[in-house]
Structure 1
């Protein structure tokens, strides 16, 4: 049986390197085009890290609001600097460190509508962040006066673990806790979905604003009176899962609400009124050592 040897013609031999260089030039041209498009038509960027659009694949985005929108520029550059006051700068640093530990996105927004109580600022902040980071599955809203007191707790391995694995939770869009007055919106998780956007826009409706002073009152009313479908979309968890209250809160010393060492988050709201912010901060910081 004859042995046939493949022989490449001189023309074919010359074409191989030419094709290689053409392919290489094409790949480089595509890469440069992506860079130029990002410079000319940039996608939304995080106010903290300024990551380009191709890095916007964080599954969880943490969102908070500070009163003075001008302080955001300071927070972007150096969280060690004073931001409005030491409490806020410590709060920002606390959340930023936590987000970096687990690879979450951290976004700071400012209050835009001063005709409403500051608590309403979470609604437009969440809606904007949902649009800016469409690849984020869940957003964690957390007030600026809440601190992560146990950073060893990961959202994905604890709170969201059952949500992602169990079919019975497939339709849950909001994870929130109740205190002695009803739902507490100082800290909650919300799914980045069409339903959630529609719900937030309903809550922010100016007609409802005329009748209700606070956004959590509107949410509670929608859950209780509007439609059973709203309540079915919300997963209620023990308050201390996401938001433990201080000892001298309006709910008193009820163990279901008050902060214990080892809890995930502590709520320091009202310490300015009680004039004991320094003591509360010290207690939290001691737990983080």
Structure 2
């Protein structure tokens, strides 16, 4: 084992901090309800899984790849999109030593392998997050609630300002909450949230109004349940969830869209299946990430491989490690 392998093994050991984090990747290995996928879908899946494996291996995190087949929760319909709530709960049972669980949609790419979750977010959590939604409030939610029967924490815009009371961390895009990349913490509070989020009575009453399914449901709960607000924190979108141009709005907006010079952590190709090219976007950001993160030796080898391919007509189609 070389020294890099030794470091990675330490991070995964009980002495390291890697076991505190589980990455949950919502995949689709069986092709959905009809179990059909084309070449582009297979390429997206292989590359996205490889990307998360490389990152998790480097920092000693667990990686849980889950098959997001639609589940028929009731006799009259499929609750597609809602299964992530069950998946998070299952992961908490499977990894009893983990504290934080990072959900990632398949159409995401971790751009910066050198950023650990600890240094990027959790070592100084309060300095990165905001708890007063008025900092950025595209949904125009009235905050904080002012009902006199609420306690002081519930009526405070910042909650109790204690990072230990943060149980879910997410970002907002131009339309509201975005669950393509978000964190939940193991806690009694989270168990209560997951129970409420997945509640069949509320679902039956409201699901026709919720175009974005569990995302709209969480927005509804945040707006109408003061106890939930006090456990939620937000990160600026580009901290964990940058968009490519064309997502959210046309052009480039520094609030939402990936900036190469700023070395944004992750790109979420949200909505790429609606008029954009999912595989084309993932390939582009894969190549940018590789270029930004490769060592001088990898740069030399890439140049040599390109020259060899030009001479002999061979091309390497496999993802190239940026680690």
Q: TM-score under structure 2 normalisation? A: 0.64
Aligned-pair CA distance for 1:119: 2.5
Contact 1:239 1:257 in 2 (8 A): yes
Question: Structure 1's 247 and 237: CA in aligned 2 closer, same or farther, altered over 3 A?
Answer: same
| Match of residue 192 from structure 2 | 198
| Match of residue 281 from structure 1 | 282
| Match of residue 101 from structure 1 | 58
Question: Structure 1's 101 and 57: CA in aligned 2 closer, same or farther, altered over 3 A?
Answer: closer
Aligned-pair CA distance for 1:148: 0.5
| 1:237 and 2:235 aligned | yes
Contact 2:109 2:282 in 1 (8 A): no
Aligned-pair CA distance for 1:272: 3.4
SS of 1:119 mapped into structure 2: coil
Question: Structure 1's 118 and 189: CA in aligned 2 closer, same or farther, altered over 3 A?
Answer: same
* 1:60-79 matches, cutoff 5 A: 60-69=21-30
Contact 1:251 1:257 in 2 (8 A): no
5+ residue gaps, structure 2, are 1-11, 33-38, 129-160, 291-323
| 1:137 and 2:99 aligned | yes
Aligned-pair CA distance for 1:245: 1.2
* 1:133-282 matches, cutoff 5 A: 133-163=95-125, 168-210=162-204, 211-212=206-207, 213=210, 214-226=213-225, 228-252=226-250, 253-261=252-260, 262-282=263-283
Contact 1:69 1:109 in 2 (8 A): no
Rg (Cα) greater in structure: 1
Contact 1:62 1:107 in 2 (8 A): yes
Aligned-pair CA distance for 1:265: 0.8
State the number of aligned residues. Answer: 226
Which ranges of 4 or more aligned residues in structure 1 deviate by more than 6 Å? 164-167
CA–CA distance in 2 between the matches of 1:152 and 1:177? 21
| Match of residue 8 from structure 1 | none
Contact 1:177 1:184 in 2 (8 A): yes
Contact 1:65 1:121 in 2 (8 A): no
CA–CA distance in 1 between the matches of 2:190 and 2:90? 12
More displaced, 188-197 or 61-70?
61-70
> Residue deviations 1:53-80, cap 9 Å, x none?
9x99811000012234589xxxxxxxxx
5+ residue gaps, structure 1, are 1-50, 72-81
| Match of residue 20 from structure 2 | 59
Aligned-pair CA distance for 1:159: 0.6
Question: Structure 1's 206 and 141: CA in aligned 2 closer, same or farther, altered over 3 A?
Answer: same
CA–CA distance in 2 between the matches of 1:69 and 1:200? 26
Q: CA RMSD in A?
A: 2.8
CA–CA distance in 1 between the matches of 2:230 and 2:269? 30
Aligned-pair CA distance for 1:275: 4.4
Question: Structure 1's 85 and 238: CA in aligned 2 closer, same or farther, altered over 3 A?
Answer: same
| Match of residue 46 from structure 2 | 89
Contact 2:222 2:228 in 1 (8 A): yes
SS of 2:255 mapped into structure 1: coil
